Amino acid sequence: MTNDLPLFAPLDPLHVEGKVTRWDVVVCARAWIGTPYQHQHRARGIGVDCAGLVIGVARDLGLVAADFDVTGYAPTPDGTTLIAECDRWMRRIHVWDLRPGNVLVVNFGRRSGFKPQHMGIVGDYMHGGLSLIQALGTADGKGEVIESRLHERSGWRHVQGYELPGIFEPGAA
């Protein structure tokens, strides 16, 4: 038995003039791929951490003010503060309801004490299913923003899903 998220049909590219869609979030997040990992940085192509990626994408798309930020957290988050800030600025959704353009908070299993410590933006995986676009630090200091298939790998656990504020859902009332 696997803990992978269910497969789904890939997100249809959709841009609605004057509105920010989930597709816009994914496209914007992918523009950050290759940005080096740097704790509490927020500059595409220069340096960013996992929270900074979500904040940077929200800023780029005008979902938050250009000067919006959340700072003062440790390189290894305590878990409680991460969830509290996400609850403050985004709407909770169940992890089984994740779709491209949503945000996922994870923990690293036993090595993190099962505390939420990482986040990324959900994308549509090129071979079906979901992906996670994330600023991932590495022990050798060569981390960067990457996109990889989303599954519960290497002890990672999906903790909470979120929806960014201000996303337009075509067909929604």
Residue 11 belongs to a domain: no
Structure confidence by residue, pLDDT tens digits, 113-156:
678 889 999 999 888 889 999 999 888 888 999 999 887 665 67
Residue carrying the six token digits 């929604």: 172
Residue 83 belongs to a domain: yes
Residue 55 belongs to a domain: yes
- The pTM score is 0.86
What's 37's domain CATH number? 3.90.1720.10
Residue 13 belongs to a domain: no
What distance in Å separates the CA atoms of residue 63 and residue 55, rounded to the nearest whole number? 9
Structure confidence by residue, pLDDT tens digits, 39-76:
999 999 999 999 999 999 999 999 999 999 999 888 88
Give residues with Cβ within 8 angstroms of 35, minimum separation 6: 43, 44, 45, 46, 47, 48, 53, 135, 144, 145
